[in-house]
Amino acid sequence: MQILRAQRLATRLPATVDALAAGDIDFKRALAMDDLTEVLSVEDAGRVERRVLAYGGRTNPSRFRDSIRYHVIKVDPGSAERRRVAAREERDVTYMAGEDGVGHLGAVLTAEQALAAHQQIDKLARKVKTPDRTLGQCRADVLLGMILGEQRERVRVQVNVTVPATTLMGLNERPGVLSGYGPITAEHARELAQQATWRRILTDPAGHLLEASPRRFPSPAMAEHVRLRDQTCRMPGCTTTAHRSEIDHTVRHCDQGLSSTDNLAALCKYHNLLRERSEWDICQPREGVLVFTSPEGRRYQTTPPALVG
């Protein structure tokens, strides 16, 4: 198995092998390149490889995978859409018996359905959380109540899709991005847009968000702006989605920090508390660019991923 994979990498993805040998990417990223381009021809796999590696290994492995997925869709949008339609036909709910008196219930849904369902379950679970139950146990109890008709309460959830206006107009087939999931085909984005509330978002040429406001507490629109910009908790290595994170001031309000998008960032509850209760320091030299300094003096810089590309 490993020999076959090595042969495939060497013959289909030589630039990936070179980047691995040079230390530009790690083995996990090389495997991702192999796995995600397997559906492509050798020529198209090479195009994806060159475009992704041109930006380096990325700080976060999930961003590296998302970049591959984006360019796999972009290089052959027709095939990507056919694979999506075929995969959608595999929707199902399955059961598997477990050990020690438990069973495993699984569901295969479309990406936006799965995200919306998980958000609904998670928000309701957090509302009914009690000290004697873990959050995971509350999610399981809420899900069972919803299925059996005992849980009738609903909370509002939203699923964000970022897509170029030219794609919505049918002028090209550039992929969109489903927040919390990653790249989706142009046709998928157009389907979702038909039943969506639209919001205009302006970006710079690199695909990053632009805007600001000097209020004590960020408005809902400003908080949503920061969540869409950051996509995940900004602490290096954390993959908690921005919509499950807190919007925090980089320069604290008590230190005259403004509630503006160049002084706000998404931090999950754990890393927000870590920042408040330890010697970790954060600065934001320009909007969206965060520099973290550890108690030992090590510095880590993170930038928000482009919404598209």
CA distance 32 to 180: 19
Cα separation values, 198 from 60, 125, 192, 209, 226, Å: 29, 29, 11, 16, 17
Return the pLDDT at 121: 95
What pLDDT does residue 213 have?
Answer: 46
How far is 42 from 47, CA to CA, in rounded Å? 9
pLDDT in tens, 215-255: 456 777 788 889 999 999 999 989 899 999 999 899 887 77
Percent of the chain with pLDDT over 70: 93
Which residues fall within 8 angstroms of residue 111, CB to CB, at 6 or more apart? 178, 181, 184
pTM for this model (two decimals): 0.77
> What distance in Å separates the CA atoms of residue 29 and residue 58, rounded to the nearest whole number?
10
**Is the Cα dihedral 198, 202, 204, 209 positive or negative?**
negative
The pLDDT assigned to 304 comes to 87
Taking the C-alpha atoms of residue 212 and residue 102, their distance in angstroms, rounded to an integer, is: 50
Closest CA to 176 of 79, 39, 47, 309: 309
| pLDDT tens sequence across 132-151 | 999 999 999 999 999 998 87
For the chain, strand residue ranges (E) read 92-97, 103-108, 161-162, 176-178, 182-184, 246-249, 264-267, 281-286, 289-293, 299-302
Q: Are 105 and 94 in contact (CB under 8 A)?
A: yes
Contact 268, 246 (CB under 8 A): yes
Q: Name the more confident of 203 and 56.
A: 56
Domain spans, the chain: 1-88, 92-151, 161-195, 212-302
The strand pair at 264-267 and 289-293 is best described as: unpaired
Under the banding of pLDDT at 50, 70 and 90, the label for residue 159 is confident
pLDDT, residue 308, reads 65
Buried b (16+ CB within 10 A) or exposed e, 149-187: eebeeeeebebbbbbbeebeeeeebbbbbbbbbbbbbbb
Query: pLDDT at residue 20 above 90?
Result: yes
pLDDT of residue 162: 87
